[in-house]
Amino acid sequence: MQTPQRKGILTVVSGFSGSGKGTVMKLLLSAHPEYGLSISVTTRAPRQGEEDGREYFFRTKEYFEQMIAQDKLLEYAQYVENYYGTPREYVQRQLDEGRDVILEIEMQGARQVKQRFPEAVLVFITPPSIEELEKRLRGRGTETEEVVRGRLAQASKEAEAMEEYDYILPNEDGQAEKCAEDLHRIICSEHYKTDRCKDRIENFRQA
C-alpha cells in the first residue's frame, strides 16, 4: 500500500471590517506562498489600485447570476448590495492536488462552506476588543461618525455568529505578522487531527 497522501485543508477566514484581516492574509501569503488563495467573483466596481483577476474577478450581475444558475459557485452572498462568490473549480482542483486553500469571505458564505464541507476550518479574525475596533475605525480618519457607528453596530450583530467559527484569532495592534503566523500554525495543526489521519491509521492496520 502506498504512503497515504496528504489532503488539502479548506480554511475560511472572516473578520469585522477593521480587524486587519486583509493585511494578515497578505503577510500569510508572502511568508507561505504554498497556500492557494481563492479569488472571488464580485459585482462591485473595482476600487483604485485593484486589478481584475488579482483582488477579484469583477463581473456584471448578469454574468454572476449565470454562474449561480450553472452551479459554478461553491458559495455566494449578497453584501452591501453586491454579489460575492467563490468559483468552485479552482478550490476543488487545489484541494484534489493536496494543496491547502484559503477563502477570505463574510459570514453568510462561511456558513454555506461549513454545510458543504463540514471538515473546513473556520477562523474569525478580530481586533483584541470592541474598544480597539472603535479606535481603529476612528483612527482611519476617513469615515464619518455615522459610518463608524454603523460598522460598530454591524460588528456587534456579527458577534452573535462568532461561535459558529472554530477559532477566534485576535489581531493585536502592530502584530499582524504574529497573527499570520498563528493562522499558519492553526492550519498546520489541523493536518494532524485524528479525523484527518484516517488513511494513515488504516495504512498501519494493514500490517
Q: Select the residue interacting with ligand 5GP from 106, 158, 181, 199 (CB under 6 A).
A: 106
Q: Select the residue interacting with ligand 5GP from 77, 123, 169, 180 (CB under 6 A).
A: 77
Judge contact between 36 and 69, C-beta under 8 A.
Answer: no
Distance CA 60, CA 70 (A): 15
84 binding ligand 5GP? (CB under 6 A) = yes
Judge contact between 164 and 122, C-beta under 8 A.
Answer: yes
Cell (9 digits) for 106: 463574510
Cell (9 digits) for 166: 472554530
Judge contact between 38 and 92, C-beta under 8 A.
Answer: no
- State which residue, 95 or 197, has the beta carbon closest to ligand 5GP: 95
Handedness of CA 113, 37, 162, 22 (dihedral sign): negative
- State which residue, 14 or 182, has the beta carbon closest to ligand 5GP: 14
- State which residue, 64 or 132, has the beta carbon closest to ligand 5GP: 64
132 binding ligand 5GP? (CB under 6 A) = no
- State which residue, 25 or 187, has the beta carbon closest to ligand 5GP: 25
Q: Give the binding site for ligand 5GP (CB under 6 A).
A: 40, 44, 75-77, 79, 84-86, 104-106, 108-109
